[in-house]
Structure 1
Amino acid sequence: MNSYDVIIIGAGPAGMTAAIYAVRANMKVLMLDRLAPGGAIINTNEIENYTGQGVISGAELSIKMFEHTQLLGVEFDYKTVLEIEDRGEKKIVKCEEDGTEYEASAVILATGTVPRKLGVPGEDQFTGAGISWCAICDGAQFRGKDVVVIGGGNSAVEESIYLAGIVNKLTVVTLFDLTADPKACDKLRAMENVTVYPYQDILEFTGDTSLSGVKFKSTKEDGTERFVECDGVFEYIGLKPSSESFSELGVLDKFGCITVDGEMKTSVTGVFGAGDITAKRLRQVITACSDGAIAANTAAKYVESLRG
């Protein structure tokens, strides 16, 4: 069994920053992720608030971060983690691929989040065939067509602005009002091909062999029902933590997020959390990086304490 000082599960901004700090602390580090390094930011068209970068695409920032880890010699492997077994001073990370197992003194959990779904009729039928959760990935196929975006938060508004620049007509449907950054909301509302329907509840996605439209209903007293024809739908209704593999560790809150203290320690000695998977109020690239740096620093000190 391969043994490491620190194993980092997740290669998003939190995980990659943790890897950089851990290896610079003279730790033997392994970073694991089942997908390409970068996490959710790979699918972000533009990032404007990462200090020192100005405007940069999520994919470009991901590449820069990963190249930094490789420059420092961080080991990386594509693995799907199934379970972490706590054996006191040693943690066993069990992976799906070939039953691979790794041993580490400290583990940093940085697996991030995945998009939530509505769970309404037609959603499963048209998933990947009209309904998407990634405008950067799939937006181009709807160029010049009519599209609906569901959601009113930062992701919904930012991706709506991007989509409005390439589609014919964009309809934004949200359960509340637009709650994103006010400047972004103003920019979206000012676009001529955009219509916003606040305070609406999605009822159904319609269509036979292909998506034809969205039915929704006002949450106000009148309960007005509407139907908007469209060729594609992009959902941005929030995120859920990717924490299923850690459910037996006893480090999750009722929402499935990892509970950590100010040093990114969980309730299990030698297990740390970082990034969007942790219970926190602000989920941004820069805060994920901050979490990763703190987690790695705390983990390295813990490993050093075991060495005596």
Structure 2
Amino acid sequence: MSHYDVIIIGSGPAGLTASIYAARANMKVLLLDKLAPGGQMINTNEIENYTGYGAINGAELSIKMFDHTQSLGVEFDYKTVLSIEDKGETKVITCEEDDAVYHATAVILATGTVPRRLGIPGEEKFAGGGISWCAICDGAQYRGKDVVVIGGGNSAVEESIYLAGITNALTIVTLFDLTADPKACDRLCAMENVTIYPYQDVLEFTGEDKLTGVRFKSTKEDATERYVTCDGVFEYIGLQPTSKFFASLGILDKFGCIIVDDEMKTSVPGVFGAGDITAKKLRQVITACSDGAIAANSAAKYVESLRG
């Protein structure tokens, strides 16, 4: 049974950065993830707001970050974590593969969130290549083009205001009406290139080699079906925190996000959070990296405090 100073669960930008800082603090580190390193970055065609890179492919940035961890000797393993038990100064991590069990003095949870998806034809095909979940990340490539936004909540409306300022035409398709802050809704509705279709079910994303449009129909009695051509789609129908397997630790808010302080500490000594899984307002690659650095620094100090 292996014991580590710090085990980091999740290898997105928060987890990767945390592993770099923990390794440089002379911690024995293990990085676990059931998927390839990079997290949501892998699904982003182009990142244009990460300091030092004018524009970089998400998968390429993921590889660069992972290579950095490997240059420092960080252990990485593909594992699906099933549970975390708090045994005081030892945390027990149980994994699905090979019934693996690891012990750690400190754990950094950087499991991130996953966008809710519609689960309709064409969505998987164009995910990351026509369909995106981050206008700040990917919006610039649709400057002067036609875009569809799915959703009517705060994120959808705020991102739509940004997109409407750079696109040719913006169409909003939402299951209900706009439910965001009234002032934001008023601002969006006043923009001349915006068309809103409330009370609609999205049926399909169309296209062969590239996305060409969205098919949807009214939820009203007439069930009118419509089709809008577009160059890109942004989905904002909510986020799902990846936190079920450690819910028993009692560190989550009502939405399933980790509650942390400014040092990324949770209410459980030796357990830290970082990145999109934490309760926060801005979820970006650069803020995730910042969280990871802070969490690793705090975890290293915690480990050292127990060594006496």
Cα distance between partner residues in 1 of 2:148 and 2:299: 47
Structure 2 residue 129 is the aligned partner of structure 1 residue 131: no
Equivalent position of 1:242 in the other structure: 242
Equivalent position of 2:104 in the other structure: 104
Deviations 1:20-39 (A, max 9, x none): 00000000000000000000
Equivalent position of 1:215 in the other structure: 217
Cα distance between partner residues in 2 of 1:95 and 1:306: 26
CA contact under 8 A between 1:91 and 1:104: conserved in structure 2? yes
Instruction: In structure 2, list runs of 5 or more residues that go unmatched.
Output: 171-192, 206-212
Cα distance between partner residues in 1 of 2:109 and 2:307: 22
CA contact under 8 A between 2:135 and 2:163: conserved in structure 1? no
Give the number of equivalent residue pairs. 275
Secondary structure of the corresponding residue to residue 136 of structure 1: coil
Amino acid paired to 2:127: A
The normalised TM-score by structure 2 is 0.78
Residues 116-265 of structure 1: pairs in structure 2 closer than 5 A: 116-117=116-117, 123=119, 126=120, 129-132=121-124, 135-136=127-128, 139=130, 155-156=134-135, 159=138, 162=141, 171-175=148-152, 178-180=157-159, 184-189=163-168, 196-198=194-196, 200-203=198-201, 205=203, 213-216=215-218, 227-228=226-227, 235-265=235-265
Cα distance between partner residues in 2 of 1:9 and 1:53: 27
Equivalent position of 1:69 in the other structure: 69
CA contact under 8 A between 2:8 and 2:107: conserved in structure 1? yes
Q: CA deviation at 1:202?
A: 3.1
Structure 2 residue 287 is the aligned partner of structure 1 residue 283: no
Amino acid paired to 2:217: K
Instruction: In structure 1, list runs of 5 or more residues that go unmatched.
Output: 140-148
CA contact under 8 A between 1:174 and 1:199: conserved in structure 2? no
Secondary structure of the corresponding residue to residue 294 of structure 1: helix
Identical positions, percent: 60
Q: CA deviation at 1:287?
A: 0.7
Structure 2 residue 45 is the aligned partner of structure 1 residue 45: yes
Amino acid paired to 1:6: V
CA contact under 8 A between 1:200 and 1:217: conserved in structure 2? no
Amino acid paired to 1:91: K
The alpha-carbon distance between structure 1 residues 43 and 4, as it changes in their structure 2 partners (threshold 3 A), is same
* Regions of 4+ moved over 6 Å: 229-234
CA contact under 8 A between 1:23 and 1:72: conserved in structure 2? yes
